[in-house]
Amino acid sequence: MSTTRSGLDLLRRMRRNRGTPSVRSLVRETVLRPEDLIQPLFVRAGEGVPEPVESMPGVVRHTLASLVLECRRVAGLGMPAVALFPCIESSLKDALSTHATDPSNILFAAIRAVKEECPDLAIIADVALDPYTSHGHDGLIDDRGNVENDSTVETLQRLAVAEAEAGADIVAPSDMMDGRVKAIRTALDAAGFPRTGILAYAAKYASAYYGPFRDAVQSSSGQPLDKRGYQMDPGNVREALHEVHLDEEEGADIVMVKPAGPYLDVIRAVRGHTLLPVAAYQVSGEYAQIHAAARLGWLDYEATRDESLLAIKRAGADMILTYFAAEVAASLQA
């Protein structure tokens, strides 16, 4: 056997730990597992087949029947949780989001149906008013068009309790109103739900990456919405740490950064700032842009998808909400 003598006098050769798949596996620092992934799902009232979301390939607005089937599949893939978002008919929306706490809200029926069929699958229920408001904002607005904080929080309290009554394991306030975590914790405890967890959207940025989601839940009023009065400035990191600290003091069980990919530095900063579990949401725009570039042949779809998720976990996320969740979990089991 011939050998090649190197002209370099090196004791440390980093490539030795990269030479074969088995060695690379031994030294890999970050590993993505199905248990790290949470599948967001959309549900609508009515029968028939699920409705495709045009701006999010592969994503649909489920009926109750198809939602239950999908949740069975998710549970079978080893994922621990789903996050449910309602798609509300426009005729049921108004400025006061009255349908949010109506017993006929499809979200409550969806929680009950999934919990009955998949009792071990954790259900995370969205606590926000934008699916129910005719104007598309995450809260109630005053005569000048500003989102009112305290009256919005009162409605969120009632919504969170109703979700817990339906069987939600975790409620997830995504509105970014001040004081809502403490108010929801107080309301849940008073209603007899001390075991219901709170996943706080602690650092939710006023991002340009949310467009396809608003299409999915049909929350846009048709006009561009400016949510910078309550969602965070994309230029701020210290503010995110302040928000996390406040939510932690108010009783949050998990804190989240949203979006994920463009805010890896924020995820890392939050991970170093809190002992709570950290979630990250790979949002609809992140999902859609990978699909779009892959369809044009500019990116390898699966490789880019998987690398994007690995980067989020490497940054410090303990769990990732992503529309890729089920297909990635299936690929990990293959």
Task: Give the model confidence (pLDDT) of 10-46 as tens digits.
Answer: 999 999 999 999 999 999 999 999 999 999 999 999 9
Where does the pLDDT of residue 2 fall: very low under 50, low under 70, confident under 90, or very high at 90 and above? low
- The one catalytic residue in 93, 115, 227, 258 is 258
Distance of CA 39 to the CA centre of its chain: 8
Q: Please say whether the beta carbons of 212 and 42 come within 8 A.
A: no
The percent of residues in the chain predicted with pLDDT above 70, rounded, is 97
Which tens digit of pLDDT belongs to each residue from 204-240?
A: 999 999 988 888 887 765 567 899 999 999 999 999 9
pLDDT value of position 4: 62
Q: Please say whether the beta carbons of 237 and 272 come within 8 A.
A: no
pLDDT value of position 166: 98
93 has catalytic annotation: no
Question: Which residues are within 8 A (CB) of 47 and not within 5 positions of it... i.e. 6 or more apart?
Answer: 63, 65
Residue 148 clears pLDDT 60, i.e. is over it: yes
pLDDT value of position 223: 64
Closest CA to 294 of 77, 286, 230: 286
Question: CA 283, 284, 286, 291 torsion: positive or negative?
Answer: positive
- The one catalytic residue in 93, 115, 204, 227 is 204
Where does the pLDDT of residue 271 fall: very low under 50, low under 70, confident under 90, or very high at 90 and above? very high
Where does the pLDDT of residue 134 fall: very low under 50, low under 70, confident under 90, or very high at 90 and above? very high
pLDDT value of position 219: 74
Domain boundaries, the chain: 31-333
Unique residue bearing structure tokens 């701020």: 236
pLDDT value of position 277: 98
115 has catalytic annotation: no
- Over residues 306-320, the mean pLDDT reads 98
Task: State the CATH architecture for 31-333.
Answer: Alpha-Beta Barrel (3.20)
